[in-house]
Chain A
Amino acid sequence: MAAPRDTPNRAQRLVGGWWGPAVGMSALGFYATATAPRDEAGREIFFNVPAGPWAVYVFFAALVGLLVWGFVRHASLWGIGRPTPGLFRDIPQRLRNTARLGLAQDKVRRDRYAGIMHWCIMSSIVVLTLVTAQVAIEADTPLNFLHGDYYLFFSFYGDLFGVIGLVGVGMALYRRYFADFHRIRWDERLEDHIIIVGLGLVLLTGFVVEGARILVTELDAHPDWAVWSFGGFAFAKGLEIFNFAEDQVLFLHEATWWVHVSIAFLWLGMIVFTRLDHLFFAPINAFFLRTDSQGRLAKIENIEEQEVFGVGYVQDFTWKQLFELDACVRCGRCTDVCPANIAGQPLSPMHLIQDLKAHLADVGPAIQQHRHEHGDAGREVSPVALVGEVILDETLWACRTCGACVQECPVMIEHVPTIVDMRRFLVMNEARIPATAQGALENLEMRGHPWRGTSLERTTWMEGLGDVPLFDGSQEYLYWVGCSGSLVERNLPVTTAVFRLLRESGASFGVLGQEETCNGDPARRLGNEYLYQILAQQLVETFKAKNVQKVITNCPHCFNTFKNEYPQFDGYFEVLHHTEFLSKAMQDGSLKATHPIAADVTYHDSCYLGRMNGIYDAPRQIIEMVPGATLTEMQRTLSKGLCCGAGGGNMWQEEVGERRVNHVRSEEAINTGASQLISNCPFCIQMFEDGVPAVQPEEEGRMRPFDIAELLEDAVFGPKAKEETPAAAGDSSD
């Protein structure tokens, strides 16, 4: 089975994918100019525009002034944020991010059409700026290089990128005005029209100016030079048809030159006032992008000494969080992939970022002034509450922390930590929290697990399995069962499946049994960082006391917490998700899938195994090695996979909105025509046990959700084996 891959291959990385053709074309032009003998080609700079030089420098000075002023204005607003720790650590990684995500635009290309369009426009602007800069150097420095073969090459690629730019503008215009592309309309503003039409005019007038000059100076005298400026040459040929007098052409040339230069500078000036500022902020934000795991949330250090818990006021964000608000270009990719938004629930990451940005612009200057005068945080300055009024409670609760928005954002905004920071304020500072989520948190406090009302014990699953070894420090692995794996009836068969497979593989492992307590992940995602820290510290101590080195979990959330978050509490363990361990065991032959399982399956990437930790291959390799099983991928898969709806503590919340996310995702799985929906996460399975029957009310032929370990258990021990540990299907947990 060839699993689809969505990470760029090596060659793409080398040239940033879309840079390839440009490099090739330029090389071709260079080769052509270098091999063709001809006279000293060249042109007069500021031909026919006597006032040109001073105008350009006045415009340029104004532009630089404007950019500096704009930057200072922005920067002073970011400055009201808290310090951002660790922003200048891992410099090499940050430079790589800037190159790959900022300049090569890996993320922009995740939408193919937009990727081509954006590359055309961007490369055109970059190259034409370089072209213009060379003209300036030629005009104002003793350097004299714009003649001969290089001049022809220069003319060639200048025109080439002018045409490429026009192609990009055309694609943008098509999407905006003819294709009625949905995300463009979500927050469309006047500037969006001005930017794209303005750029088109700059490029077009550029060709007109060039064409008029060529008509006068080159078309008759040096047609062999003129063809290298193929765009201008075509315009010149077009003008020639009208048989204008030379002074008429010169007038056209001069007038268009002024229009061209004015629009170009105005357009560049818009960088300060419009979303064009992403020209600078996007690559800078790529530099600021976190270099640790996306699955890790920031730890509140010295939590007991905080004045305010989480972010309840705009100045409580870090300045990086405020900075990235300015990078947003309103493209809507985040909202397009947001599970809450897809299900019609009250969250749109794009609008959230834009609302924060507008709020910062509204109250930022007053806060700044207050600070200047009083020296305190100025939390009472804002007349509106950030959490509750600017951003509604229900918006914050709708987030699954699935990271799809972060994954798609072409300017590297990290929405999830920002949302969780505001949740922290809601829960810890204000104690405003949905009743069911509150129940889960109270249960965590009182009973060390989130499953209110369970009648199971942490050892119930062991019944009938013979000797279950307790971890005592002598074994290699700790098999971490987790709260769902032991206290939710539907998940017990998964726990026993993993256990039997581990035992079969000959691994040396033990379990903690009654000594397991929640590792705190639900508390952290729901915003109760205080409770999380207590639970995490306790468990890190338990692990250390028991001499735990390696952990196998059957839950991606536990996996992510141990792997990415426990190092914040000095807990460094080697952590494996069961799919990783089992895939390895099958490859080295310690597990053998000998019983054919004739099943069409589809595979659901859980967010915390897939997007957050990049484990896409191991589970697919297992399915591949199960004889008889065939995998059909869903439309949204791998890093574009859709959350099951349970993430971010939504396992314990009532959903608000048109549909439920698990119904949407179940429907997508059912549409593949597969008979089994294979996942790797106890929450996903519970969501699908609930979601599939809602979409397929008929029991006959209904798709069945299973964990990948359950599938493998059948393949290793034979399908009959399942009867020993009857799987409680679906209706048991209610």
Chain B
Amino acid sequence: MHIVVCAKQIPDPETPPSAFKIDAATNKVVPAQGIAPVLSQFDAIAAEAALRIKEAGGEGKVTVISMGAESAQAAIKQVLAMGADEGVLLNDPAFEDGDSHTTAKVLASAIQKLGDVDAVFCGRQAADWDMGQVGLLIAEILDWPVATIAKGASLEGETLSVERVLADGFETVQVPFPAVVTVSNEFGEPRYPKLPQIMAAAKKTVTQMKAGDLGLDPSEVGKAGSRLQLQKLFIPEKGAQVEFIAGDTPQEQAAALVSKLRADKLI
């Protein structure tokens, strides 16, 4: 059993609002000073799910793949410290500023290159853009079945049994291998790494791959291959206006309030 975990490094979701800035000219988030990027929490949970399946089976391998800059090594090391066996960093300037589709394409190519993969575990969405597309698109590109928003996953004979979160409960589905699973926070907390594993992870080398290694042309990935165009990135302005409703008696005030709400088409 060889499971791939896709992990993304994102700007810290706990960046204080006052430190979160956007560069309007380039339509990009300005990295907050002194606040290091972190592993997307959903991906940490996906890693936890993959590791539990490996441990329950007694044998197997978990490979963590991340597409990102050199700094994403930290995210990979974190999953390695949790107990993953190998790490792959897909680091190429050509991959930058893509959309969900180009990201899925790069990840799928890497999974194909690894060859013997039985399952891919992703977070249900990346905690920065919250698109929730990449896992599905990987399945589409690989032509594998996909079970989304999992709150549980276990090995049952030759298939994977996945509990999926629904709006009003959950359902259990059986998925044949190879398959893609996207894992939700209902799955539970990711483990705290043990120190011996942290130190072992620090010594592991992460394999680096570029577009050429994956047989991808720079024109089909990153910004060049993107089908989605970002028009405008902005922080919504929050404001509150207070208006005191005039009136001599509570009855008059109530009547004035109602007509005001009607005029604003709120009731």
A interface residue numbers (CB < 8 A to B): 304, 309, 427-431, 433, 435, 438, 441-442, 446-447, 452-457, 460, 514-515, 530
Contact = CB atoms under 8 A, between A and B. Distances in A.
Given A460-B18, A514-B33, A447 B192 contact: no
Contacts of B34: 514-515
A530 B16 contact: no
Given A446-B36, A446-B38, A514-B33, A453 B14 contact: yes
Q: How large is the interface on B (under 10, 10 to 19, 20 to 34, 35 or more residues)?
A: 20 to 34
Contacts of B194: 428-431
Contacts of B196: 309, 429
Contact of A435 (B14, B33, B189, B193): B189
A431 B192 contact: yes
Contacts of B18: 457, 460
Contacts of B36: 446-447
B230 interface: no
A431 B189 contact: no
A328 to B, nearest CB: 31
B33 A457 contact: no
Contacts of A309: 195-196
A446 B195 contact: no
Contact of A438 (B12, B189, B199): B189
A473 to B, nearest CB: 20
B16 A457 contact: yes
Given A447-B12, A456-B16, A530-B198, 19 more contacts: A304-B199, A309-B195, A309-B196, A427-B192, A428-B194, A431-B191, A431-B192, A431-B193, A433-B192, A446-B12, A446-B36, A447-B35, A447-B36, A452-B14, A453-B14, A454-B14, A455-B16, A460-B18, A530-B195
Contacts of A454: 14, 16
B17 interface: yes
A430 B197 CA distance: 11
A530 B198 CA distance: 10
Which 4 pairs across A and B sit closest by C-beta, in order of nearness? A428-B195, A431-B192, A431-B194, A457-B16
Given A447-B14, A452-B14, A438 B192 contact: yes
Q: Which of A441, A447, A453 has the most CB of B within 10 A?
A: A447
Nearest to B18: A457
Q: Is the interface of A mostly helix, strand, loop or mixed?
A: helix
Interface string B1-30: 000000000001010111100000000000
Counting chain A CB atoms within 10 Å of each CB, which of B17, B34, B191, B193 scores highest?
A: B34
A442 B195 contact: no
Contacts of B195: 309, 428-429, 530
8 contacts: A431-B191, A431-B192, A435-B189, A441-B192, A447-B14, A452-B14, A455-B17, A460-B18
A699 to B, nearest CB: 26
Contacts of B33: 514
B133 to A, nearest CB: 26
Contacts of A452: 14
A429 B194 CA distance: 6
Nearest to B13: A453
A460 B19 CA distance: 11
B123 to A, nearest CB: 17
Contacts of A304: 199
A304 B196 CA distance: 9
A464 to B, nearest CB: 15
Nearest to B188: A435
Contacts of A446: 12, 36, 38
Contacts of A435: 189
Contacts of B17: 455
A309 B193 CA distance: 13
Contacts of B16: 454-457, 460
Chain B contact residues: over half helix, strand or loop, or mixed? Answer: loop
A442 B39 CA distance: 12
Contact of B19 (A431, A438, A441, A457): A457
Nearest to B189: A435
Interface in B116-160: none
Interface in B171-230: 189, 191-196, 198-199
A425 B53 CA distance: 26
Contacts of B38: 446
Contacts of A515: 34
Contacts of B192: 427, 431, 433, 438, 441-442
A456 B19 CA distance: 9
Contacts of A514: 33-34
A454 B18 CA distance: 12
Contacts of B191: 431
Contacts of B19: 457
B166 to A, nearest CB: 26
Nearest to A435: B189
A456 B33 CA distance: 14
B8 to A, nearest CB: 15
A441 B195 CA distance: 13
A304 B17 CA distance: 38
A304 B19 CA distance: 36
Nearest to B192: A431
Contacts of B12: 446-447
Nearest to A460: B18
Nearest to A452: B14
A234 to B, nearest CB: 70
Contacts of A456: 16
Nearest to B198: A530
A453 B12 CA distance: 11
B229 to A, nearest CB: 32
Nearest to B38: A446
A725 B199 CA distance: 46
Contacts of B14: 447, 452-454
Nearest to B35: A447
A350 to B, nearest CB: 31
A446 B38 CA distance: 7
Interface string B31-61: 0011110100000000000000000000000
A438 B191 CA distance: 9
Contacts of B189: 435, 438
Contacts of A442: 192
Contacts of A427: 192
A515 to B, nearest CB: 8
Nearest to B82: A431
A442 B18 CA distance: 22
Contacts of A429: 194-196
A308 B135 CA distance: 39
B29 to A, nearest CB: 17
A452 to B, nearest CB: 7
A454 B193 CA distance: 24
A429 B198 CA distance: 10
User: Which among A428, A429, A430, A456 has the highest number of chain B CB atoms within 10 Å?
Assistant: A428
A679 B183 CA distance: 46
A442 B189 CA distance: 12
B200 to A, nearest CB: 11
B102 to A, nearest CB: 28
A447 B15 CA distance: 9
A514 B34 CA distance: 8
Nearest to A515: B34
Contacts of A438: 189, 192
A438 B189 CA distance: 10
A438 B35 CA distance: 20
B208 to A, nearest CB: 24
Nearest to A430: B194
A454 B195 CA distance: 27
A514 B17 CA distance: 15
Interface in B99-118: none
Which of B19, B192, B199: most chain A CB closer than 10 A? B192
Nearest to A433: B192
B42 to A, nearest CB: 15
Which residue among A453, A454, A455, A530 has the maximum number of chain B CB atoms within 10 Å of its CB?
A455
A66 to B, nearest CB: 46
A452 B38 CA distance: 14
